[in-house]
Amino acid sequence: MAKPVVAIVGRPNVGKSTIFNRIIGDRLAIVEDKPGVTRDRIYGSGEWGGKPFNIIDTGGIEIDGVDEILRSIRMQAELAIEEADVIVFMCDAKSGVVQADEEVAQILYRSGKPVIVAVNKVDNLNRMDDIYEFYSFGFGDPIAISGSHGTGIGDLLDAVIENLPEPKDDEYDEDVIKVALIGRPNVGKSSLVNAILGEERVIVSSIAGTTRDAVDTPFEKDGQKYVIIDTAGMRKRGKVYETTEKYSVMRSLKAIERADVVLVVINGEEGIIEQDKHIAGYAHEAGKATLFVINKWDAVEKDDRTMQEFEQSIRDHFLFMSYAPIVFLSAKTKQRLHKLIPVIQHVAEQHSKRISTHLLNDVVSDAVAYNPPPTDKGRRLRINYVTQVSVKPPTLVIFVNDPELMHFSYERYLENRIRASFDFEGTPIRLFTRRKSDEG
């Protein structure tokens, strides 16, 4: 189920990123604490009143050219209109309405999307009168906020969720494996889709997906039904999308949310760049089954060590995704293509696998006996029991005497032992530590 999207739009220096960070809280900081996880701060998740949503900070989009500020503001506003369900139009109480604000307002007014005017830097009651001139935009009541003090954020979020559309339920049966292809432009996603479908020759139909501009293509292989969620053709929308690859990341995120299995497609000729890490990091954080597909392998000059060295490079760059299998292939020549579908099916099975509490506790008990938790100031972690509470991804709760005694490295050790016993290849595992008394 894809979450609705909120975009924060406005000219530079009105405090967009500060508000963005306040709304998402410390979610990204927690993620970045894990070794090897890189995140692009342009996109985050929030929740208010029990309603989850994704949020875009257009202030995080850097446009080259110091003299092109108005042009860059227009581009960012256009992006928000395209991607968002609700737009937060940020202004600055101290400077009042300026020409750049008028520019943004004109674009947003034509969009027909719900727009909420947030007037930032209302840091005290004396500034409340400064918000009245922002009524001139015609978007209804402006909301006074202060990024530095955190005031008014609740009122802003109340207005946001009031305007959010209801999330759409997925239209596919539970047993259909939904596969999203993500990756930078020109890694060969379209060719790979065509190669998969061309080889199977059992295309049912092409259906316009719930993700804007994506195409869902169902097919069947050996009795298993699949849907490919193709984001490959999404970036050709004029210069606004050619300016920065960050736009293509946003497009991929909607596909990731709807998918069971994510194929991170990498160009074998070019190797790995930082943007690949950002894109893969989103799939990991979303808890999706994931595999790396190294495309254009036919064009790579090889000796007997080339594949092994490339695989090691993937592992070094994606430390946080050591669980994800790697498939080398060529969409163009169909070399090794036959290996892909069995791996997709396998990781989908691991992603939805459920382990009995009895078996889980046997494995964890053995792990603790083999390597007991270290003491911390004379106190030792005691694990009472473990249970799996959900699938997609497999999510386990470990009940202990004191969650603060669970060190990150020991949690990683337990995860590795659980993986070794039950496979879970291709899927992240989520572990939560709870005090025994928190149960039920």
Greatest Cα pair distance, the chain, in angstroms, is: 73
Shared domain for 188 and 302, answered yes or no, is: yes
Last residue of a domain, one of 297, 316, 351: 351
- How do residues 87-106 score in pLDDT, each as one tens digit? 999 999 999 999 888 888 88
Residue 317 and residue 196 share a domain: yes
Q: Residue 178 burial (CB < 10 Å; 0-12/13-18/19+)?
A: buried
Cβ atoms < 10 Å from Cβ of 209 = 22
pLDDT greater at residue 218 or residue 363: 363
User: Is residue 172 a part of any domain in this protein?
Assistant: no
414 φ, ψ (degrees, to nearest 5)? -65, -40
Phi then psi dihedrals of residue 403, to 5 deg: -55, -30
Question: Are 30 and 61 found together in one domain?
Answer: yes
194 is in an annotated binding site: no
21 annotated as ligand-binding: no
Task: Please choose, from the candidates 80, 89, 180, the residue with its C-alpha nearest in 3D space to the C-alpha of residue 139.
Answer: 89
Q: Does 346 lie in the same domain as 232?
A: yes
CATH number of the domain encompassing residue 396:
3.30.300.20
49 and 35 fall within a common domain:
yes
Residues 421 and 360: their CA atoms lie apart, in Å, by: 9
- Is 121 labeled as ligand-binding? yes
CATH of the domain at 59: 3.40.50.300
In a domain, 169, yes or no: no
Boundary (domain end) residue, out of 328, 351, 374: 351
| pLDDT at residue 71, as a whole number | 67
Average pLDDT of the residues in 107-120: 91
Q: Which residue has the higher pLDDT, 128 or 82?
A: 128
Asked, for residue 170, whether it belongs to a domain, the answer is no
pLDDT at 196: 87
Q: Give 368's contacts (C-beta < 8 A, 6+ positions apart).
A: 383
Is 109 a domain residue? yes
Write the pLDDT tens digit of every residue in 316-375: 999 889 999 999 999 989 999 999 999 999 999 999 999 999 999 999 999 999 999 988
Residue 190 labeled ligand binder: yes
In a domain, 315, yes or no: yes
Q: Are residues 88 and 152 in the same domain?
A: yes
Confirm or deny that 223 is annotated as ligand binding: no
408: in domain? yes
12 labeled part of a ligand binding site: yes
Q: 351, 382, 409 — which closes off a domain?
A: 351
Is 243 annotated for ligand binding?
no
183 is in an annotated binding site: yes
Tokens read off for 29: 């900081």
Over residues 272-282, the pLDDT tens digits come to: 877 677 778 88
Any known ligand binding at 10?
yes
| Statement: residue 289 has pLDDT above 60 | yes
CB atoms within 10 A of CB 378: 5
Residues 89 and 188 both lie in one domain: no
Asked whether residue 209 carries a pLDDT value surpassing 80, the answer given is no
Does residue 376 share a domain with residue 334? no
pLDDT of residue 38: 36
Do 260 and 212 form a contact (C-beta atoms < 8 A)? no
Query: Is 13 marked within a binding site?
Result: yes
- H or E stretch covering 344: helix 340-351
Looking at the structure, tell me whether residues 89 and 59 fall in a common domain. Answer: yes
Number of structural domains, the chain? Answer: 3
Do 372 and 341 fall within a single domain? no
57 known ligand binder: yes
Asked whether residue 297 is domain-assigned, the answer is: yes
**In a shared domain, residues 191 and 286:** yes
Q: Are residues 403 and 271 in the same domain?
A: no
Residue range 181-189: mean pLDDT, rounded: 80
Tell me if 17 is assigned to a ligand binding site.
yes
Question: Is 16 part of any known ligand binding site?
Answer: yes
pLDDT, tens only, 10-63: 887 888 888 888 888 754 433 344 444 334 446 778 889 888 888 887 764 544
Q: Over pLDDT 90: what percentage of the chain?
A: 47
Residue 72 lies in a domain: yes
Residue 242: band (very low, low, confident or very high) from pLDDT cuts 50, 70, 90: very low
Range of the domain at 413: 357-438
**What phi, psi does 436 have (nearest 5°)?**
-55, -40
